[in-house]
């Protein structure tokens, strides 16, 4: 059984637009954590390249050691992502489907005159519900209002430091406002909640915001680069925050109830309203400046990552794109692999490609063999000829 999804999908052509570049001197820009799950392989070695451009003071790029400064600078100035995406969702072994997702490949066209933003632009969201489907369904249904209308989303034609800081602030407000909206809606149970991961693309900027245990993974020249940190109470940083806020962790569960330490909703854990709670809706951000080395982004719910490492998932999608260049089919193949590995949860995957097309590898054709039969007389003649 496959869950339905509202998909807004449009191919975005490569635009001949000169961008100044994404600028920000904050330490966290494109700060990709090397800490991965126990099943994950080590992250690739990376270094920082700083480039001064006009009034922009610093640009932090993550690039492999094999890439020269000159080629990195060239990628910054000349690469413009051509965005296309695909998705697939499956109920898995669960009785109910609680995942929701949204994908908008051309955000500027979708929002129309509502906002003015750098192009190309795109928006993706994955909401993994628990305690029923209501919270996740609410966030998806009101996503445009929550993330772009009610938060005074910044308007700009170019990505710069002020725009980037304003976008982060706006998305943070959206997460917190969505959390409060779930508390105010009397039709939604206080025991219903959802994790949330959003990904925004503006020009070459990729900005991921996460609260919960969905995960975004960037493929950079075939290597998995995690663009989010799982928020579970079993991890040291989250455990310490939970304990300091008066909560406890019992057998890996926050207050003995939840397997995540950040989520929207779940007001039976957060009440009374306004009090300090070990369960928070505050998102963590990670940013990256996209170059031609960045092939695609995978966004998946925890049902995927419970049985697959980030690198394994990247390898499956990369192999699929080279075989058929279909992101929808790649998303399905990833879900099917998780089911084969006996995941016990709902499954949702979004695959976002940053190039117009992937060169499809030609499959070797099987050799054509012809078979014929010989009569008894012919066989005798052949045998006689061979013996002589």
Q: What is the mean pLDDT of each run of 10 residues along the chain (388 residues)?
A: 47 37 40 39 38 35 39 59 97 97 97 92 98 98 96 92 95 98 96 98 97 98 98 96 95 96 96 89 97 97 98 98 97 98 98 84 57 72 77
206 neighbors 218 (Cβ within 8 angstroms): yes
Q: What's the confidence (pLDDT) of residue 62?
A: 38
Rounded distance, CA 259 to CA 231, Å? 9
The DSSP secondary-structure symbol of 148 reads I
Burial grade of 259 (CB within 10 A; 0-12, 13-18, 19 or more):
middle
3-state secondary structure of 303: helix
Rounded distance, CA 353 to CA 12, Å? 11
Q: What's the confidence (pLDDT) of residue 378?
A: 76
193 neighbors 178 (Cβ within 8 angstroms): no
The H or E element that residue 216 is part of is: strand 215-220
Tell me whether residue 253 is in a domain.
Answer: no
Instruction: Name every residue whose Cβ is closer than 8 Å to that of residue 70 and which is 6 or more positions away in sequence.
Output: none
Tell me whether residue 132 is in a domain.
Answer: yes
pTM more than 0.85:
no
The H or E element that residue 69 is part of is: helix 69-78
Tell me whether residue 11 is in a domain.
Answer: yes
3 neighbors 91 (Cβ within 8 angstroms): yes
CATH number for the domain spanning 131: value is 3.60.40.10
Tell me whether residue 255 is in a domain.
Answer: no
Rounded distance, CA 300 to CA 33, Å? 17
Q: Do you find a cis peptide bond into 147, omega within 30 degrees of 0?
A: no
Domain of residue 52 covers 7-230+260-363
Q: What is the tally of structural domains in the chain?
A: 1
Query: What is the greatest pairwise CA distance in the chain?
Result: 102
Tell me whether residue 235 is in a domain.
Answer: no
What CA–CA distances, in Å, run from 64 to 43, 60, 69, 222? 11, 13, 10, 11
Helix 161-184 and helix 134-141, axial crossing angle in degrees, nearest 10: 130
Tell me whether residue 144 is in a domain.
Answer: yes
How is residue 173 written in tokens? 């407000």
How is residue 125 written in tokens? 């969201």
Nearest of 59, 41, 36 to residue 49 by alpha carbon = 59
Tell me whether residue 170 is in a domain.
Answer: yes
Number of Cβ within 10 Å of residue 57's Cβ equals 12
3-state secondary structure of 150: coil
- 310: alpha, beta or left? (left if phi > 0; alpha if psi -120 to 50): alpha
Phi/psi of residue 344, nearest 5 degrees: -115, 20
How is residue 186 written in tokens? 């009397």
Q: What's the confidence (pLDDT) of residue 363?
A: 55
3-state secondary structure of 265: strand
102 neighbors 143 (Cβ within 8 angstroms): yes
105 neighbors 350 (Cβ within 8 angstroms): no
- 257: alpha, beta or left? (left if phi > 0; alpha if psi -120 to 50): alpha
- Cα dihedral 43, 228, 217, 89, rounded to 10, equals 140
3-state secondary structure of 129: strand
Phi/psi of residue 221, nearest 5 degrees: 55, 40
Phi/psi of residue 220, nearest 5 degrees: -115, 105
Q: What's the confidence (pLDDT) of residue 185?
A: 96
Tell me whether residue 1 is in a domain.
Answer: no
Q: Locate tokens 């966290």: which residue?
A: 28
Nearest of 140, 196, 142, 201 to residue 172 by alpha carbon = 196
Q: What's the confidence (pLDDT) of residue 356?
A: 84
Strands 60-64 and 347-353: unpaired
């Amino acid at each position: 059984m496959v869950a339905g999804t509202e998909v807004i999908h449009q191919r975005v052509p490569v635009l001949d637009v000169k961008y100044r570049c994404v600028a920000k001197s904050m330490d966290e820009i494109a700060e990709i954590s090397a800490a991965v799950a126990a099943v994950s392989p080590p992250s690739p070695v990376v270094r920082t390249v700083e480039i001064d451009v006009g009034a922009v003071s610093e640009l932090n790029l993550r690039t492999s050691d094999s890439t020269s400064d000159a080629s990195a600078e060239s990628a910054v100035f000349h690469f413009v992502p051509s965005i296309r995406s695909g998705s697939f969702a499956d109920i898995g072994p669960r009785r109910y489907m609680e995942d929701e997702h949204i994908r908008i490949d051309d955000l500027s066209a979708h929002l129309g005159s509502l906002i003015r933003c750098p192009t190309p632009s795109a928006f993706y969201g994955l909401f993994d519900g628990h305690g029923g489907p209501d919270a996740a369904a609410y966030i998806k249904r009101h996503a445009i209002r929550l993330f772009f209308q009610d938060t005074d989303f910044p308007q700009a034609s170019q990505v710069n430091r002020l725009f980037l800081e304003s976008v982060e602030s706006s998305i943070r407000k959206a997460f917190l406002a969505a959390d409060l909206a779930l508390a105010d809606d009397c039709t939604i149970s206080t025991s219903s909640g959802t994790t949330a991961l959003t990904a925004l693309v503006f020009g070459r900027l990729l900005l991921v915001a996460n609260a919960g245990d969905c995960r975004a993974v960037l493929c950079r020249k075939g290597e998995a680069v995690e663009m989010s940190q799982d928020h579970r109470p079993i991890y040291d940083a989250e455990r310490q925050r939970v304990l300091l806020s008066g909560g406890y962790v019992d057998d890996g569960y926050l207050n003995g109830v939840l397997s995540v330490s950040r989520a929207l909703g779940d007001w039976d854990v957060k009440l009374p309203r306004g009090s300090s709670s070990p369960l928070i809706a505050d998102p963590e951000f990670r940013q990256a400046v996209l170059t031609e080395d960045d092939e695609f982004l995978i966004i998946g719910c925890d049902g995927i990552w419970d049985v697959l490492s980030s690198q394994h998932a990247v390898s499956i999608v990369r192999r699929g794109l080279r075989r058929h260049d279909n992101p929808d089919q790649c998303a399905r193949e990833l879900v099917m692999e998780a089911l084969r590995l006996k995941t016990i949860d709902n499954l949702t995957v979004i695959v976002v490609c940053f190039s117009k097309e992937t060169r499809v590898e030609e499959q070797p054709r099987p050799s054509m063999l012809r078979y014929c039969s010989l009569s008894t007389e012919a066989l005798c003649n052949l045998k006689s000829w061979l013996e002589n």
